[in-house]
């Protein structure tokens, strides 16, 4: 692989200082015309454009945007990333994908080394160290999701609280009074995904608004943890006639626990989840699910960050995308016994 030409290489070849090259690239008038022409000739001779565009050279920016996404590469993530990449490309930026953990030094190095102009963050924690670091450094970023303190921050997020409320209203309208809620436990020690917190709060607020009891349980996304948690809740609270979950990873274990108890869906128990339509229509029966408009969210995340980078965003923008509830075969009227 050939070595990438840098502004230092240009300065050495032209026999001038790096600051002189920088002034020429930024159209500063205080450079002799002969010097300007010599530097431009060196740039052309070294075919600098093969490595970095003239726009990048002039602006001092890489025109790359990073997207930090989880290793759980599911259909919603894939759609979101594809949409974000398309939005970046249309605006003249390229998207670099970063998988897995990033420590503080690695995150800062992305900016200091000129590898990226800004970053899109996914899988937000309620207290996310990435946000604290980037905000303190004054670096450009947007979030897909929310942390607890969003003061002055730009994000696009699914309004999962509204989604949970819609699901509760749907089930209550079918006569259900005892609705269980199974979610993933806090991760990374005491840290919790913001999405999980807002979903749990949305369920709890909605269920109490209707005057019904709240049944919240947390499971690990490992092995048969969900199966055990759901089975234990059914054994402890046999009056439960419906289940809800805000995570697609919980759905399989939840369904297994219901079937293991000999219950029929939806005759004996109804289920509402958040599941990509590709999967929701493959369960038996098809799952009533909260939509995840991942393509739209990816497009908006890219547009928000590009606006920051281009100096078009004068203040933080915070977008909540309201989901829809797609009713399928997994929900039905509460069994008569639940009325007793």
Q: Is the pLDDT of residue 279 over 60?
A: yes
Candidates 125, 106, 20, 25; CA nearest to 66 is 106
Which of 255, 316, 250, 330 has the alpha carbon at shortest distance from 288?
A: 330
Instruction: Note the pLDDT of residue 157.
Output: 96
Task: Count other Cβ atoms within 10 Å, centred on residue 86.
Answer: 15
pLDDT tens readout for residues 164-213: 999 999 999 999 999 999 998 866 556 788 888 999 999 999 999 999 99
**What span, in angstroms and rounded, lies between the C-alpha atoms of 242 and 168?**
10
Q: Are the folds of 64-158+294-323 and 160-291+326-339 the same?
A: yes
Distance, in Å, from the CA atom of 229 to the CA atom of 233, rounded to the nearest integer, reads 6
- Given 1.10.260, 1.10.3470, 2.40.50, 1.10.287, which CATH number is that of 7-59? 1.10.260
The DSSP call for residue 268 is: T
How many other CB atoms sit within 10 Å of the CB of residue 201? Answer: 13
Phi (first) and psi of residue 57, to 5 degrees: -60, -45
- For the packed helices 294-309 and 75-90, what is the interaxial angle rounded to 10 degrees? 30
Using the predicted structure, report yes or no on whether residue 26 has a pLDDT greater than 70: no
Q: Render pLDDT for 11-24 as a digit per residue (tens, 0 to 9).
A: 888 998 867 876 77
Q: Are the beta carbons of 169 and 203 closer than 8 angstroms?
A: no
> What region does 271 belong to: left with phi over 0, alpha with psi -120 to 50, or beta?
beta
Give the pLDDT confidence score for residue 29 in this predicted structure. Answer: 78
CA gyration radius for the chain?
26
Long-range contacts of 7-10 (CB under 8 A, 24+ apart): 7/57, 9/46, 10/39, 10/42, 10/43, 10/46, 10/48
Query: What is the percent of the chain with per-residue pLDDT over 90, rounded to a whole number?
Result: 59
CATH architecture, range 160-291+326-339: 3-Layer(aba) Sandwich (3.40)
User: Domain spanning 64-158+294-323 has what CATH number?
Assistant: 3.40.50.2300
Separation of alpha carbons 78 and 76, rounded Å: 5
What are the backbone dihedrals phi and psi of residue 129, each rounded to the nearest 5 degrees, phi first? Answer: -65, -25
- Helix ranges (H only) for 138-271 are 160-173, 194-209, 225-236, 251-260
- pLDDT digits over 246-271, tens only? 988 899 999 999 999 999 999 999 99
Tens digits of residue pLDDT in 73-88: 466 678 888 899 999 9
pLDDT, greater one: 336 or 264: 264
Residue 59 has pLDDT above 60, yes or no: no
**Comparing 21-30, 109-118, 138-147, 225-234, which segment has the lowest mean pLDDT?**
21-30
Residue ranges per structural domain of the chain? 7-59, 64-158+294-323, 160-291+326-339
Residue from 129, 121, 111 nearest 155 by CA: 121
User: CA 205, CA 202: separation in Å to the nearest integer?
Assistant: 5
Long-range contact set of residues 205-211: C-beta below 8 Å, sequence gap at least 24? 205/161, 205/165, 206/164, 206/165, 206/167, 206/168, 206/169, 207/168, 207/179, 207/181, 210/168, 210/172
């Amino acid at each position: 692989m050939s070595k990438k030409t840098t502004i230092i290489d240009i300065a050495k070849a032209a026999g001038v200082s790096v600051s002189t090259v920088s002034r020429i690239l930024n159209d500063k008038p205080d450079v002799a015309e002969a010097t300007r022409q010599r530097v431009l000739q060196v740039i052309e001779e070294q075919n600098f454009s093969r490595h970095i565009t003239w726009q990048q050279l002039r602006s001092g920016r890489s025109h790359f945007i990073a997207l930090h996404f989880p290793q759980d590469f599911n259909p919603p993530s894939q759609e979101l990333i594809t949409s974000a990449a398309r939005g970046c490309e249309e605006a003249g930026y390229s998207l670099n994908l970063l998988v897995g953990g990033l420590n503080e030094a690695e995150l800062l190095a992305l900016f200091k080394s000129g590898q990226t102009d800004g970053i899109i963050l996914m899988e937000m924690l309620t207290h996310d160290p990435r946000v604290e670091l980037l905000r303190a450094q004054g670096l450009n970023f947007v979030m897909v999701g929310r942390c607890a303190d969003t003061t002055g921050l730009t994000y696009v997020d699914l309004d999962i609280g509204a989604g949970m409320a819609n699901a509760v209203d749907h089930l209550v309208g079918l006569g259900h009074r005892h609705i269980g809620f199974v979610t993933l436990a806090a991760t990374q020690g005491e840290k919790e995904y913001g999405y999980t917190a807002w979903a749990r709060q949305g369920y709890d607020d909605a269920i109490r608004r209707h005057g019904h009891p709240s049944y919240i349980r947390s499971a690990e996304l490992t092995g048969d943890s969900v199966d055990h948690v759901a089975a234990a809740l059914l054994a402890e609270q046999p009056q439960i006639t419906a289940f809800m979950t805000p995570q697609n990873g919980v759905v399989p274990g939840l369904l297994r626990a219901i079937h293991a108890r000999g219950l029929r869906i939806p005759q004996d128990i109804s289920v509402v989840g958040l599941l990509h339509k590709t999967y929701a229509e493959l369960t038996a029966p098809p799952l009533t699910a909260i939509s995840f408009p991942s393509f739209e969210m990816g497009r908006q995340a890219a547009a928000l960050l590009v606006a920051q980078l281009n100096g078009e965003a004068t203040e933080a923008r915070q977008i909540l995308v309201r989901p829809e509830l797609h009713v399928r075969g997994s929900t039905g009227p509460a069994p008569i016994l639940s009325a007793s």
